[in-house]
Amino acid sequence: MSSPQPSPPALTHATTASSFEAMFPASGPVVWHGAWTTSVMRPSAAPWFETWAEQGFMNQSLRQVVRVHTGGTQVRIRLSNAYSHTPLRLTGASIGGTAGAAAVRPGTLRTLRFAGLPSTTIPAKGRAVSDPVALPTEPLDQLTISLYFKEATGPATYHQLSMATTYRAAGDHHRDPAAAAYTDKVQPAYGSWYYLEGVETSGKHRLPSAVVTFGDSLTDGFGATIDRHDRYPDLLAQRLLTAALPRPVLNAGIGSNKLLTDAALGGDAGIARFARDVLDQPHVGTVIVLMGINDIQQTFEPARSTSPEATPVTARQLIEGHRTLIRAAHARGVRAVGATLTPYRGAAGWTPAGEEIRSRVNQWIQTGGEYDTVVDFACALDPDGTGSITEDLHMGDHLHPNPTGYRAMADAIDLASLGQ
């Protein structure tokens, strides 16, 4: 099998801006598109790095930076209180263009309102969508969202691994364009996102349907570079823009996530969260599924073999789990792309028995004919079929790609196979 051709250079902002209008002439009513998303989780203590999820916030401002994959003339955000048993009082919120770190570009700061009010209460297990604000954006723009909580929030619904820096300030600074007050950030800065579930854009341009990437830490981007947007979904979005095929690419990965069972540190099982995190996104057309390695390695890894989460798994069970996702996608008219499970020989959780399961699941993905099409991520990271990720493509743990490995994954995707 020949190696995929490398992607063209990443599109510059100027190129994106000049081509966007021509690609999608104005027509029809305003339509909202997903520009950015993350999958929310129950608050927990992360064993790998500090988070603010369990302690929550009180009289503090949060500043979170995201990069959008669509442009438009208006923007709005989605907030989630899904994993709280009490209402969440949001005192104030704003959005603006990112000037670098925690600073906002002058003249772009907009107050966010909810049903016309500058504050809102999100019910326990509920969500909120802000009113639209006029804020012109282009694909690959970075936006800064600031949230102020005067009252104690309690433990926070969040996304554990953001690979982006989140900033915190004492007191109310959600309307400050300057970064001076935002002196606190998690170290080491793997970062997390809090309450923020999605950003949507709209305008006069109707875009093609979104691509959602669904998976675990290999989709979430562990091993990528902090604040550099070099996870495979980010690089796929850049490839689509460069090829004049711009589409939203929404990252629905969760580190440590499993397909079949819930995990205290990895969120709800893939089959349980698929509808919320994939099918309920705005205008979804395609999903890329990369799931199963955690089910396998956490079954056989000796350190976890006595854990309640270490439910033994078989290839047949994983295949049935994938079939559940395929059926759900097809029932909603969504194209399902199956990704082969990537190699992990040399990682702490590798065993011969686990490798046999990976091989059997991959054979089914490639030859079973149940996915609409297949992307061979295993070959992208292990072109010689050794069972191990090539040395220069992983971050040092033989499991997670480095930025070069994530580039190889993005390059392995046939853009035409994603449909329209």
Sorted by where each begins, the domain ranges of the chain are 32-198, 208-418
Q: Average pLDDT in the 200-222 region?
A: 92
Give the pairing of strands 335-339 and 373-375: parallel
Q: pLDDT digits over 96-140, tens only? A: 999 999 999 989 999 999 999 999 999 999 999 999 999 999 999
Average pLDDT over residues 166-181: 98
Q: Which H/E stretch holds residue 273?
A: helix 270-274
Which tens digit of pLDDT belongs to each residue from 136-160?
999 999 999 999 999 999 999 999 9
The pair of three-digit structure tokens given for residue 256, joined into one six-digit string: 């440590």
pLDDT at 329: 98
Report the alpha-carbon distance of residue 368 to residue 364 in Å, rounded: 5
**Cβ-based neighbours of 361, under 8 Å, separated by 6 or more:** 292, 315, 318, 319, 322, 341
Confidence at residue 235, expressed as pLDDT on a 0 to 100 scale: 98
**pLDDT at site 420:** 75
Q: How confident is the model over 264-298, as pLDDT tens digits? A: 889 999 999 999 999 999 999 999 999 999 999 97
CATH of 208-418, one of 1.10.10.10, 3.90.550.10, 3.60.10.10, 3.40.50.1110: 3.40.50.1110
First to last CA, the chain: 26
* pLDDT (0 to 100) of residue 188: 58
User: 19 falls in which pLDDT band (50, 70, 90)?
Assistant: very low
What was the pLDDT predicted at 305? 42
| Residue 312's pLDDT band (cuts 50, 70, 90) | confident
* SS (HEC) of 390-404: CHHHECCCCCCECHH
State the DSSP H helix or E strand holding residue 294, giving kind and residue range, or none if neither: helix 293-300
pLDDT score of 47 = 72
Residue 9 binned pLDDT confidence (cut-offs 50, 70, 90): very low
The whole-angstrom separation of Cα 299 and Cα 351 is 10
- Kindly state the percentage of the chain with pLDDT values over 90: 83
Give strand ranges (E) for 124-186.
127-129, 133-137, 142-149, 158-159, 166-170, 184-185
pLDDT for 401 beyond 70: yes
DSSP letter, residue 219: H
Across the range 399-407, mean pLDDT stands at 98
Residue 310: pLDDT over 60: no
Judge contact between 133 and 74, C-beta under 8 A: yes
| Mean pLDDT for the chain overall | 90
DSSP designation for 121: E
What number is the average pLDDT over the span 56-77?
97
Q: Judge whether 105 and 98 are in contact, CB under 8 Å.
A: yes
Instruction: Flag whether pLDDT at 377 surpasses 60.
Output: yes
Q: How far apart are CA 62 and CA 79, in angstroms?
A: 13
Question: What pLDDT sits at residue 28?
Answer: 56
| Element at 234 (helix H, strand E) | helix 232-242
DSSP string, 8-26: PPPPPHHHHHHHHHHHS--
- pLDDT of 311 reads 65
Q: Does residue 171 have a pLDDT over 80?
A: yes
| pLDDT score at 379 | 98
At 223-251, the pLDDT tens digits run 999 999 999 999 999 999 999 999 999 99
User: Which residues have C-beta within 8 Å of that of residue 405, sequence separation ≥ 6?
Assistant: 223, 381, 389, 390, 393, 394, 395
Tokens 């309640």, residue located: 308
Q: Give the least confident one: 232-236, 276-280, 311-315, 381-385.
A: 311-315
pLDDT, residue 11, reads 28
Query: How much is the pLDDT for 21?
Result: 37
